[in-house]
């Protein structure tokens, strides 16, 4: 059984920072990813990280601004968001294979 829950979202101003967290239950320490759904309800893969913290990849839209990390001892996945833009708004989900968490809403607005 895999259960994932993202948190840390909220309202943030353009250019600001926000750190999202995802806590798991039944973690198997496989590759984890962040996926977001924008206000237009379009899904976009954001980032991925292997079980040992290597093999990090980012979507071009967030490269250089976001940073993914994980703490396997705590069954936790993180996404550090810096210099956020209005286009970053949406619901962020942490995923493990076909398993998706409930997601956390991020709103970038002045």
Tens-digit pLDDT profile for residues 37-65: 999 999 999 999 999 999 999 999 999 99
| More confident site: 73 or 33 | 33
| Average pLDDT value for residue range 5-24 | 96
pLDDT at 10: 98
| Average pLDDT value for residue range 79-98 | 96
DSSP state of 55: S
| Average pLDDT value for residue range 61-84 | 96
End-to-end CA distance of the chain: 40
């Amino acid at each position: 059984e895999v259960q994932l829950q993202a948190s840390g979202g909220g309202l943030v101003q353009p250019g600001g920072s926000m750190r999202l967290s995802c806590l798991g239950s039944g973690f198997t320490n496989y590759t984890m990813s962040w996926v977001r759904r924008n206000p237009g309800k379009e899904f976009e893969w954001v980032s991925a990280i292997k079980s040992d913290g290597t093999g990090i990849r980012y979507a071009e839209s967030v490269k250089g601004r976001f940073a993914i990390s994980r703490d396997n001892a705590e069954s936790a996945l993180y996404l550090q968001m810096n210099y956020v833009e209005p286009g970053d708004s949406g619901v962020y989900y942490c995923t493990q294979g076909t398993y998706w968490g409930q997601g956390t809403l991020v709103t970038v607005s002045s």
